[in-house]
Amino acid sequence: MTVTNEPSFRKSVDLMFNRAVALMDLPPGLDEKIRVCNATYTVRFGVRLRGQIQTFVGYRSVHSEHMEPVKGGIRYATNVRQDEVEALAALMTYKCALVEVPFGGSKGGLCIDPRAYDDHELELITRRFAYELAKRDLINPSQNVPAPDMGTGEREMAWIADQYARMNTTDINARACVTGKPLNAGGIAGRVEATGRGVQCALQEFFRHPRDLAAANLSGTLDGKRVIVQGLGNVGYHAARFLSNEDGCLITGIIERDGALFNADGLDVDAVRSWLFQHGGVRGYPDARHVAEGAKVLEQECDILVPAALEGAIKLSNADRIQAPLIIEAANGPVTAGADDILRAKGTVIIPDMYANAGGVTVSYFEWVKNLSHIRFGRMQRRQEESRHKLLIDELERLSADPGVNWNLSLNFKEQYLRGAGELEIVNSGLDDTMRVAYQSMREVWHARDDINDLRTAAYLVAINKVAASYRAKGL
């Protein structure tokens, strides 16, 4: 079915879901049960600020409880609406199923411009929002576990965790009520950058499959590939930084709220990020051309386009002008259902959001497990692993000391081999494994059937099958 009018975000997700379901053989009615959002709670609360009571509107939506706790970020933005929160909650269900993270899907949002309030005011607002959700078990280690999203980060998660702990003084697992916390408040190494790191893992895995590369008219490795990123926030910044520093990509364009920067020779991602923090925007940055109408840079020629800011960035009105042969959806819902139709017809390969940005929820899962086990990953085995490696190195060095032997261990190898894995290495290994396995499950479906010609439909198929299997196991 071709989409001619731009649907809402929620409808866009439903259209993509329906496209996949049409290719499946689910028991009658199960597709509807999986598709609908179980419940959305709307809260309106007042906070006394600047001498008057200000009323805020927030949401927490639970899409599917086929597994509990349900999981999903809390977003602070002025355009937060029920429709958007429900769409994002649905995506969380499919995302968790696809990457085999044992959670149902949820999402929350507060209609607020966080830049309009100072730290103390934001803390008051966040604590009150957390109180309203926690008293209804919409924040709870075993039922509903939020995380950061657009406009929120470690600081807000620490306030939420503390608020929950104050309300549940005897809950030994209180810290597991929210993820994305700072390390000193029960967080985990690697969570801040996890979504961007996951985007990098996804691209690395894509580039391991020549057939998939050929589908996007690309070849070779990530080295030297031209990348345009929209949004230099948590996800966009880390993805761009890892791709340029570790894989040799050229970040030729960065699009922000106040326009875009373009430099065909590649931008210094850290320098742009510092400029953005200092000046509140990218305008005036010296080593690039500034384009006032930032969204136009989405249409520039490049190898990989990384929309990492907001939903609906690529839509009916600009999809046919997008030149990138490969789009990786670092943000949630950056390509509308209508644009998706146009891009598929053009042969653009899209690595879909439910997979591409799943690094965040994957490492959130590790953080939740860490909180429940009350011990840092690697604490028990790291030194034991090192001493076993030392045994082997000592033995090899003893053998190489023999005058008849003509080899030596390189210093670099020795240092790397002797170092046992700390929490960050373990987290990154788990993240990479998760992203690789999930990609392979998608591409298998993509290539196995003639009636599936895109990764998004394949991703939905894998995810819906897993959710359906959970429901069947429950006897539904």
Q: In this complex, which beta carbon is closest to ligand NAD, that of residue 309 or of residue 467?
A: 309
280 DSSP assignment: S
Q: Strand runs (DSSP E) across 131-281, as ranges?
A: 144-148, 226-230, 250-256, 259-262
Q: How far is the CB of 398 from ligand NAD (least distance, A)?
A: 48
Q: Does residue 154 belong to the site contacting ligand NAD (CB under 6 A)?
A: no
Structure tokens at 385: 């692993």
Residues 163 and 133 sit within 8 Å (Cβ to Cβ): no
Q: How far is the CB of 240 from ligand NAD (least distance, A)?
A: 11
Binds ligand NAD (CB under 6 A): choice among 234, 252, 348, 434: 234
Residues 16 and 332 sit within 8 Å (Cβ to Cβ): no
Question: How many residues make contact with ligand NAD (CB under 6 A)?
Answer: 24
Q: d(Cα 348, Cα 67) in Å, to the nearest integer?
A: 34
Residue facing ligand NAD at closest CB distance: 233
Q: What is the Cβ-side half-sphere exposure of residue 343, based on CA atoms within 13 angstroms?
A: 31
Q: Strand runs (DSSP E) across 297-380, as ranges?
A: 304-307, 326-328, 349-351
Q: In this complex, which beta carbon is closest to ligand NAD, that of residue 233 or of residue 378?
A: 233
Q: Give the number of residues written for the chain.
A: 476
Among 11, 71, 95, 107, the one annotated catalytic = 107
Applying CB under 6 A, the span of 255-263, 319-327, 341-349, 368-376 interacting with ligand NAD comes to 255-263
Residues in 440-469 that interact with ligand NAD by CB under 6 A: none
Q: How far is the CB of 124 from ligand NAD (least distance, A)?
A: 21
Q: d(Cα 254, Cα 302) in Å, to the nearest integer?
A: 12
Q: How far is the CB of 105 from ligand NAD (least distance, A)?
A: 12
Binds ligand NAD (CB under 6 A): choice among 40, 195, 434, 441: 195
193 DSSP assignment: T
Residues in 326-345 that interact with ligand NAD by CB under 6 A: 330-332
Q: How far is the CB of 195 from ligand NAD (least distance, A)?
A: 4
Q: Does residue 300 belong to the site contacting ligand NAD (CB under 6 A)?
A: no
Applying CB under 6 A, the span of 18-26, 306-314, 376-384, 448-456 interacting with ligand NAD comes to 306-314
Query: Residue 419's CB: how many other CB atoms inside 10 A?
Result: 13
Q: In this complex, which beta carbon is closest to ligand NAD, that of residue 40 or of residue 364?
A: 364
Q: In this complex, which beta carbon is closest to ligand NAD, that of residue 81 or of residue 414?
A: 81
Helix (H) or strand (E) holding 33: helix 30-35
Residues in 415-444 that interact with ligand NAD by CB under 6 A: none
Residues 182 and 158 sit within 8 Å (Cβ to Cβ): yes
Q: Does residue 122 belong to the site contacting ligand NAD (CB under 6 A)?
A: no
Residues 184 and 151 sit within 8 Å (Cβ to Cβ): no
Secondary structure class of 61 (helix, strand, coil): strand
Q: Does residue 310 belong to the site contacting ligand NAD (CB under 6 A)?
A: yes
Applying CB under 6 A, the span of 119-127, 162-170, 234-242, 421-429 interacting with ligand NAD comes to 234-242
Q: How far is the CB of 353 from ligand NAD (least distance, A)?
A: 7
Q: Does residue 235 belong to the site contacting ligand NAD (CB under 6 A)?
A: yes
Binds ligand NAD (CB under 6 A): choice among 105, 141, 187, 233: 233
Binds ligand NAD (CB under 6 A): choice among 160, 201, 306, 308: 308
Applying CB under 6 A, the span of 143-151, 165-173, 264-272, 341-349 interacting with ligand NAD comes to 143-151
Q: Does residue 230 belong to the site contacting ligand NAD (CB under 6 A)?
A: yes
Q: Does residue 133 belong to the site contacting ligand NAD (CB under 6 A)?
A: no
Q: What is the CA radius of gyration of the chain?
A: 23
Applying CB under 6 A, the span of 46-54, 123-131, 230-238, 433-441 interacting with ligand NAD comes to 230-238
Q: Does residue 309 belong to the site contacting ligand NAD (CB under 6 A)?
A: yes
Q: How far is the CB of 71 from ligand NAD (least distance, A)?
A: 11
Residues 255 and 296 sit within 8 Å (Cβ to Cβ): no
- Residue-wise over 38-75: b if at least 16 C-beta within 10 A, else e? bebeebebebeeeeeeeebebbbbbbbbbbbbbbbbbb
Identify whether 95 is a catalytic site residue.
no
Residue 106's identity, in one-letter code, is S
Nearest to 258 by CA among 231, 278, 221, 288: 231
Q: How far is the CB of 309 from ligand NAD (least distance, A)?
A: 4
Query: Which residue has 């309300």 as its token pair?
Result: 167
Query: Residue 251's CB: how many other CB atoms inside 10 A?
Result: 26
Residues in 351-370 that interact with ligand NAD by CB under 6 A: 357, 360
Q: Summarize the chain as % helix, strand, coil (round to 5).
A: 50, 15, 35
Q: What are phi and psi of 435, to 5 degrees?
A: -70, -40
Q: What are phi and psi of 68, to 5 degrees?
A: -130, 145
Q: How far is the CB of 102 from ligand NAD (least distance, A)?
A: 18
Applying CB under 6 A, the span of 215-223, 303-311, 365-373, 400-408 interacting with ligand NAD comes to 303-311
Q: d(Cα 94, Cα 87) in Å, to the nearest integer?
A: 11
- The residues assigned a catalytic role are 107
Q: Where on the chain is the footprint of ligand NAD (CB under 6 A)?
A: 148-151, 195, 230-236, 255-257, 294, 308-310, 330-332, 357, 360
